Amino acid sequence: MYPKLVHDAMPQYQLPEILRTPLQELCLHIKSLQLGAIGSFLNKALQPPDPLSVQNAIELLQTIGALDDAEELTSLGRHLCTLPLDPNIGKMLLMGSFFQCLNPALTIASALAHRNPFVLPINRKEEADAAKRSFAGDSCSDHIALLKAYEGWKNAKRQGNEKAYCWENFLSPITLQMMENMRMQFLDLLSDIGFVDKSKGLKAYNEYSNDLEMLCAILCAGLYPNVVQCKRRGKRTTFYTKDDGKVDIHPASVNANVHLFPLPFMVYSEKVKTSSIYVRDSTNISDYTLLMFGGNLIPSKSGDGIEMLGGYLHFSASKSVLELIKKLRGELDKLLKRKIEEPGLDFSTEGKGVVAAVVELLHSQNIRY
């Protein structure tokens, strides 16, 4: 039942799906089916999407490396086409398998693709927020909070006290079970395209699963270019993105009441606009994490640093440090390119030195742990 005023204001027909959902996955399928230029093909729709939305989707796919400058599929793009997921989440899964951080990547990807397992009763909001923060610890990360919550649920399930665990920690058992089912589906998909060999056992893909710095790197690789700059202003921190300028942390985030962050950047899952522009599901990351797992590194015009996101992000350091970073990033990119082209390539034998050097660099920013 609706009041007449509300009923009369409703549209006669639902908005077509092509006008209300992200276009990235659709753009990839258009290229995989060789249907020509993305914009031209979508213009043939009965109600074509806004050209700006199409261009933004193409630019995002180019930014994450799924399309080249000519809007053709890259090797990464061809793999992402086979995963029925948002391309950013698909990339996170691939990177998790590459860098032996698979279990956390599967869990976080399942939550992002489905829904957050935390529930927020109106009359117990403070208790629910406190439970969520307890899972996050001092990580300044919503993604780590949901990972720890899922791992706790698995342990509780094995011990037969699943219901009590969910009730005490404000978690939805239905959502957690759905996440577990999705994890298995994602694992099968990775196996089908050759990035996981189940005969080796999952232990071979989880050497760094308890390494929180590597986990943050995988999150950065998947969520980029969703980057926030954290700038200290006295005893508080303000947040800025390239497209929106100043933004706020969503009230439901574990980072909502954090005033000073230990690291200078955050990656986030999505933005929402209500009374302000909010970023949801955020994780605090270091500059080295962003330099190794973010976008292309571009020398600054002044020659005294490195830029990213079309010059929006600027990193300054001594010439020797900059050269080291560029060299290591170049070796990492070559290794990832080979892995994408040869899914059976084993990082534990080939490229082991590069991976070890990257891990060491990430830990040199080890402020939180």
Band the pLDDT of 1: cuts 50, 70, 90.
confident
- Say if CB 118 and CB 128 are below 8 A apart: yes
Domain boundaries, the chain: 4-82, 89-196
Task: Give tens-digit pLDDT for 333-357.
Answer: 999 999 999 998 887 777 889 999 9
The DSSP code for 67 is B
- Taking 60 as the threshold, does the pLDDT of residue 368 lie above it? no
Distance, in Å, from the CA atom of 267 to the CA atom of 263, rounded to the nearest integer, reads 11
Percentage of the chain exceeding pLDDT 90:
79
In 10 A of CB 7, how many CB atoms? 9
Give residue 87's pLDDT.
96
Distances (CA, A) of 215 to 151, 222, 304: 15, 11, 30
Supply φ then ψ for residue 265, to 5 degrees.
-135, 165
Give residue 8's pLDDT.
76
Task: Give tens-digit pLDDT for 156-205.
Answer: 999 999 999 999 999 999 999 999 999 999 999 999 999 999 998 899 89
Task: Give tens-digit pLDDT for 68-124.
Answer: 999 999 999 999 999 989 999 999 999 999 999 999 999 999 999 989 999 988 889
Distance, in Å, from the CA atom of 103 to the CA atom of 101, rounded to the nearest integer, reads 6
Task: Give tens-digit pLDDT for 143-155.
Answer: 999 999 999 999 9
Task: Give tens-digit pLDDT for 270-304.
Answer: 999 988 999 999 999 999 999 999 999 998 887 78
Give residue 288's pLDDT.
94
For range 40-54, the mean pLDDT: 93
Give residue 319's pLDDT.
87
- Give Cβ neighbours of residue 293 (< 8 Å, ≥ 6 apart): 95, 217, 218, 220, 221, 224
Distance, in Å, from the CA atom of 124 to the CA atom of 127, rounded to the nearest integer, reads 5
DSSP 218-280: HHHHHHTT-EEEEEEETTEEEEEETTTEEEEE-TTSTTTT--S-SSSEEEEEEEEESSSEEEE
- Taking 50 as the threshold, does the pLDDT of residue 307 lie above it? yes
Nearest to 57 by CA among 75, 41, 44, 34: 41
